[in-house]
Structure 1
């Protein structure tokens, strides 16, 4: 049985999956939420930035009158670690079709001082209420068939950056963007692949926030290795995705002064552009 078929056979459902359990916050009081950040979503011992974005987004979905993130921007202030965290939210504005709020995730340092990890501002609405007209020049990236792509399980050795989060993802990368894994990066700054959760859970607006920050960094295709920490990330959720594996394309056009941008597009099985993002990340040049 193929990886995709296996995932289908043991499919988890939206609302009842490891991602949902681990990213769900518990309301302590209005505007204040508790969560224990799982070590299962770490990269180099730091909690993945896309997963943190989903955590903050869930808190804002509870705090605001609208459920779905439309636009969400996060500044990553300090690295988050597995363990207890607090999310504090603030309602900035509410309207008929859009509401805006901000959220911060805090943890305690070794001395017991509260440290802000990530600060988010976001606009929320109702994706199901949007009109279905589409006028776009965007086209899905060309992908080889899924069975001709490769993931972490196909590598004889752990891929650079492989960590706990890898076991929770279904990821098959386009061989044309995998030269870095063989010691021959293309230098183009491109990574493309099929993406989903390993338990077969279909994508929703919250998991799309993980998706835009879950593929190997484009810095690998530029010949760099090691952790590529996100400084700022903005994601736009355009519509609710259709079931099935997503296609994700990430590109970098400019590495300068030790920083690079990553532009991501996420396409669903219906051929729709369901999410877009841009992030600024720090590249370790030495």
Structure 2
């Protein structure tokens, strides 16, 4: 059920607006504040006027309403916990699969139950099997990823559920599907064009597609990186905290240059972000970036680019 006041407040803050910015005749700042805090209701006409001032349609407002804490997918992910293959964690995974399967049988959880079951089975078979194959090449993984890929390809509009499903299943997607769905995500996520938080999710997804393609389809990776840069530039006018995304973009450009043949120039660019991460206190990220760039440089110079590990970075 949508909490209209809380949803309105989230959208207002997401656009960097203050209550006073929306005040108008017959709609006082006091009324808006009480509406947001749940102390009073607001007529549909007044709500639509305020939404119009924010550049949000009524349909978009309803579409974006709700709280992730009530979302089936997020609830089951929380129950499942982080999965590294440890016995206790595998028990949590099995329990989540069982609950999602039962919910699916009894008509509970909707589309979320269907995909959480498939996601759980994808992880289970991916973690259980010791192999040198890429995760997305495993037959057991492909079986459970296919329904998600088919669903996303057919979706006319990418909303929260579609972005959530992509976030769940992308480690099991082939590079070809990653490129196709990356393009679709950008094309069809119309509702997110003006919202900071959801736009950031879209930027992260573009980066994931880039990461998945960089060692298998350089042209596709370059396309995604250029797109990520253009999205970030458009966001500059209303986003003030983009430091991490900008650093990631600089690093990614360096790795791309290295694989395109400019090894030393790319290495210099990729490692240029290390001091910035260290200053920000992100020492683990700084270490990862340094080591990944060194390994990439080493294997390219040795003529062994296929030896560079390239599992997809996890978003969840």
* Category of TM-score, reference length = shorter chain: under 0.3
Larger % of helix: which?
Answer: 2
Larger Rg over CA atoms: 2
TM-score when scaled to structure 1? Answer: 0.25
Which protein has greater RCO, CA pairs closer than 8 Å, 6+ apart? 1
